[in-house]
Amino acid sequence: MKVYLDHAATTPVDKEVLEAMLPFFDEKFGNASSLHAYGREAREALEKSKEEVAKLINADADEIIFTGSGTESDNLAIKGIAFKHGKGHIITSKIEHPAVLETCKYLEKKGFDVTFLPVDEYGLVKPEDVENAIRDDTILISIMHANNEIGTIEPIEEIGEIARKHGILFHTDAVQSAGKIEIDVKKINVDLLSMSSHKIYGPKGVGALYVRRGVKLEPVLHGGGHEKGMRSSTENVAGIVGFAKACEICRRRMHEDADKITRLRDKIIKEVLKIEESYLTGHPTRRLPNNASFYFKGIEGESLVLMLDAKGIATSTGSACSSKKLQASHVLLAIGIRPEDAHGSLRVTLGRENTEEEIDYFLEVLPEVVEELRKISPMWHKK
Ligand SMILES: *Cc1c(COP(=O)(O)O)cnc(C)c1O
């Protein structure tokens, strides 16, 4: 049996999405900037796509900028505000995705000040910590909506209120949450919000940045002035059409999918915690419907992932980006897990195509694999 349980890394492209995209690789190949019929057809598809993406987060079409990825959206939001101001202070958290963390570290080198807020044992940022970190020169707060490794959902409504009260711009990386849980940008007081297509059954290489009307950004890409001058590049029309279709499907199926996925996830959590010395990471309830993440004492997450892979099961340890480095995950360290325990982490992220049978197979295989690894582990000292 082949079971894909790594949807936080990427998702399969939905068949309906693929169908929607195909004509734009074929007869509808026009450049959306061209004046002729081919161009107008592409432009129209682009405008319709903007409306569809906007609807998912209750924004307006003119507040959406298409980018090349979630990473680019994060870069554009943070560098865009930073370079518009020229100097100042940024508040973020220690558990952000590298697309935010590394951008902030880069800006530190360029003379900006950055506060990296700690989180509690569940990965939650405390809104009062955000408020206490605000200075006269604070230009931006960037706190993710939901964490990609442990699934914890941050209190972004409260943080948005604080940002609004102090007149500071607020960005959130919603790459993991958009399409999975409700987002209403009008409710959460957010000024900038990042999304990515391939995390929600759309194609890779497409993202979006919501920019609240009136918020001014310095572009990162200079050129022909596409996307109101905020992101020059000939638009990836096929990819954008696919992303929009993926958003439409998420909007249609959000509750149905979330119910089914939550039930499977809770079954996983309940069964996995029966394995001795296994621990859940992230918040017990304030977490994404599809995320179940753990650590197991006495084993290496990498070995666990490879052993599961040999049985046809795809999972990850930490995140796809950090699992290539042999460092413990910055997220797990930030929630207070000891480095040697953090190395034994496993992330299981479900998707809408997963079945009960697949989960049962995983739950049958996992305890055997954990036991096998512990038998040969010098780190496992059984009494
Ligand atoms: C995947 C991810 C990104 C990066 O998105 P890409 O489209 O893969 O560049 C950013 N933030 C979070 C939280 C993610 O999970």
The pLDDT-based confidence of 316 (bands split at 50, 70, 90) is very high
The pLDDT-based confidence of 382 (bands split at 50, 70, 90) is low
Cα distances (Å, whole numbers) of residue 9 to 5, 53, 252: 9, 21, 23
Tell me the C-alpha distance between 31 and 48, whole Å: 16
| Closest ligand 1 atom to Cα of 146 | 13
Nearest to 381 by CA among 307, 299, 326: 299
Tell me the C-alpha distance between 147 and 123, whole Å: 8
Residue given tokens 């959000």 in the structure block: 254
The pLDDT-based confidence of 320 (bands split at 50, 70, 90) is very low
**pLDDT at residue 324, as a whole number:** 52
Query: Hey, what CATH topology would domain 15-249 get?
Result: Aspartate Aminotransferase; domain 2 (3.40.640)
| Closest ligand 1 atom to Cα of 205 | 7
- The contacts of residue 220 (CB under 8 Å, 6+ apart) are 72, 75, 76, 79, 80, 231
Task: For 188-246, write each residue's pLDDT tens digit.
Answer: 999 999 999 999 999 999 999 999 999 999 999 999 999 999 999 999 999 999 999 99
- pLDDT of residue 33 exceeding 60: yes
Q: Does the annotation count 321 as an active-site position?
A: yes
**pLDDT at residue 326, as a whole number:** 67
Pocket flag, ligand 1, residue 173 (CB < 6 Å): yes
The pLDDT-based confidence of 327 (bands split at 50, 70, 90) is confident
Q: How far is the CA of 195 from the centre of ligand 1 (A)?
A: 8
Tell me the C-alpha distance between 59 and 277, whole Å: 45
- pLDDT of residue 322 exceeding 60: no
**pLDDT at residue 319, as a whole number:** 46
Task: For 104-128, write each residue's pLDDT tens digit.
Answer: 999 999 999 999 999 999 999 999 9
Mean pLDDT of 71-93: 98
Pocket flag, ligand 1, residue 67 (CB < 6 Å): no
**pLDDT at residue 323, as a whole number:** 52
Pocket flag, ligand 1, residue 239 (CB < 6 Å): no
* Model pTM above 0.75: yes
| Closest ligand 1 atom to Cα of 199 | 1
Q: How far is the CA of 197 from the centre of ligand 1 (A)?
A: 9
Query: Average per-residue pLDDT in the chain?
Result: 96
Pocket flag, ligand 1, residue 172 (CB < 6 Å): no
**pLDDT at residue 349, as a whole number:** 98
Residue given tokens 């990965």 in the structure block: 123
The pLDDT-based confidence of 283 (bands split at 50, 70, 90) is very high
Least trusted range by pLDDT, from 80-84, 101-105, 156-160, 320-324: 320-324
- pLDDT of residue 18 exceeding 80: yes
| Closest ligand 1 atom to Cα of 96 | 13
- pLDDT of residue 277 exceeding 60: yes
**pLDDT at residue 321, as a whole number:** 47
Q: How far is the CA of 70 from the centre of ligand 1 (A)?
A: 5
How much of the chain exceeds pLDDT 70, in percent?
97
**pLDDT at residue 359, as a whole number:** 98
Tell me the C-alpha distance between 244 and 17, whole Å: 8
- pLDDT of residue 266 exceeding 90: yes
Q: What is the largest CA-CA distance in the chain?
A: 77
What's phi and psi for 139, nearest 5 deg?
-110, -20
Domain extents for the chain?
A: 3-9+254-375, 15-249
Handedness of CA 26, 28, 33, 36 (dihedral sign): positive
Please tell us whether the domain made up of 3-9+254-375 is placed in CATH 3.90.1150.10: yes
- The contacts of residue 344 (CB under 8 Å, 6+ apart) are 295, 296, 297, 298, 299, 300, 301, 304
**pLDDT at residue 325, as a whole number:** 56
Residue given tokens 């409504």 in the structure block: 157
Instruction: Return the H-helix or E-strand segment holding 15.
Output: helix 15-21
For ligand 1, pick from 196, 197, 287 the residue to mutate: most ligand atoms within 8 Å of CB: 196
Query: Does this chain's domain 3-9+254-375 share its CATH topology with 15-249?
Result: no
**pLDDT at residue 211, as a whole number:** 98
